[in-house]
Amino acid sequence: MVEISIFLKEIEIEDTYAEAFTGLFIRILVTKEIEIEEKDKKQFFIERDPLRLAAYRATSTPSTVVGRIEAGIERWVERDETPDGNEGVILQFWKSYGANKGLEEQVKDFFWEVSIRIRQDILSVPFMRIFDWRGRDNAIEYIKIDTEEMVGRCGGGHEYFSNEYGRDIINIPLMMGYDFKIDRYIGCGRGVAGGNIWYFCDSVKSGWNTALAAVKSIKEVDGVITPFYVCPSGSAAENYPPIGPPTNYPFCPTLKNRIESSVPNGVRSIPEIVINGITEKSVKEAMRRAIYSVEREEDLLKISAGNYGGKLGDYRIYLKELID
């Protein structure tokens, strides 16, 4: 039986843990070659802002729960941080890691999926460039990937190599009159995927506001993403139909009076925030901030996390260990 033994002000923190998994990640920086008007960065039609368009296209579905890859926006980057002096965005791509298959083969399969997103969602948007982005954590070991075969050959044999910004660059000529540039070598690392926080709120509106406050605080942590931003439902732990995991129906408030429900009285919304990070430390820090950032949110009744009884994941991140 789970005991409620922790409190943060008036909010109950369930004495439980998030079950997380080892995952492979690729972290890239996408920049745009030209400057656009400020109004185009803010207007409703994101197609007028190539960088926003590429970032959202490349990080959309599918997901690891259906055997593919998932992605997210880590943060937007100012000119003084990028190799080419242009505005950019850091994107992360993730794939499940399994010990039953060779690492080299898994990395190749992973980059095949990532290369599709690069070719179809970034190269196909005007003025984009791609750089490897490994950040400041030198303790992470990276496997080097040569992008020439799966991306560079989009040049049809007319791609060429150069050394720019202190990097080996592949240049792919495009009809629009410029070359698409991508780092020839990109790193793949092993990180932690599936850290999560659940918020038990008394209305859908308070659930939304609480989750938004949490995501905002998580964005301040280096090396993490929220691949589903605000997730409206976790997945059931078992009984998967052929299409993939169903919603976590015992925790769906609209089913409270129709099934054997796990939704406490007074709770009408349970949003989930999923967190992937390049290290276990970064995931824990993101989860910690996701707890403390909402301590003043009205109508938040309890904080919890999702797990599978410790049967599937490589990590157990206990909520009580995140509370000072």
pLDDT tens-digit readout, 130-153: 999 997 767 899 999 999 999 999
pLDDT range class, residue 5, cuts 50, 70, 90: low
Q: Last residue of a domain, which of 162, 189, 216?
A: 189
Q: Last residue of a domain, which of 189, 209, 238?
A: 189
Residue 43 pLDDT more than 90? no
Label each residue of 48-97 as H, E or C: HCHHHHHHHHHCCCCCHHHCCCEEEEEEEECHHHCCCCCCEEEEEEEEEC
Of 312 and 194, which is predicted with more confidence? 194
DSSP, residue by residue, 100-114: TS-HHHHHHHHHHHH
Q: Residue 277: CA atoms inside 13 Å, Cβ hemisphere, count?
A: 23
pLDDT range class, residue 1, cuts 50, 70, 90: very low
Q: What pLDDT was estimated at residue 308?
A: 87
Residue carrying structure tokens 């495009």:
174
Q: How far apart are the C-alpha atoms of 112 and 21, rounded to whole Å? A: 21
C-beta of residue 58 within 8 angstroms of C-beta of residue 72: no
Residue 317 pLDDT more than 60? yes
- CATH number of the domain within which 160 lies: 3.30.70.520
179-192 residue pLDDT tens: 999 999 999 999 99
Residues 129 and 197 in one domain: no
* Residue 71 lies in domain: 23-189
Mean pLDDT of the region 159-182: 97
Mean pLDDT of the region 75-84: 96
DSSP H/E element including 187? strand 185-201
239-252 residue pLDDT tens: 778 887 889 999 99
Residues 125 and 253 in one domain: no
Of 72 and 245, which is predicted with more confidence? 72
Residue carrying structure tokens 């290369």:
115
Q: What pLDDT was estimated at residue 238?
A: 77
In the numeric block, which tokens belong to residue 114? 């990532």
Residues 173 and 30 in one domain: yes
The rounded radius of gyration (Å) of the Cα atoms in the chain is 21
198-228 residue pLDDT tens: 999 999 999 999 999 999 999 999 999 999 9
Residues 29 and 154 in one domain: yes
| Domains identified in the chain, total number | 2
Residue 9 pLDDT more than 90? no
The reported pTM is 0.94
Bridge partners, residue 12, by sequence: 7, 302
Mean pLDDT of the region 35-56: 90
In the numeric block, which tokens belong to residue 112? 């095949």
Q: What are phi and psi of 278, to 5 degrees?
A: -75, -15
Residue carrying structure tokens 């049967």:
311
Residues 58 and 142 in one domain: yes
Residues 99 and 170 in one domain: yes
Residues 108 and 253 in one domain: no
Q: How many Cβ atoms sit within 10 Å of the Cβ of residue 3?
A: 8
C-beta of residue 267 within 8 angstroms of C-beta of residue 201: yes
Residues 16 and 27 in one domain: no
DSSP H/E element including 288? helix 280-292
Q: What pLDDT was estimated at residue 242?
A: 82
Average pLDDT, the chain: 93
Residues 277 and 300 in one domain: yes
Residues 302 and 314 in one domain: yes
CA 155 to chain centre: 30
Q: What pLDDT was estimated at residue 42?
A: 85
DSSP state of 216: H
Nearest to 224 by CA among 275, 186, 172, 183: 275
Residues 40 and 128 in one domain: yes
Residues 295 and 161 in one domain: no
Q: Last residue of a domain, which of 164, 189, 214?
A: 189
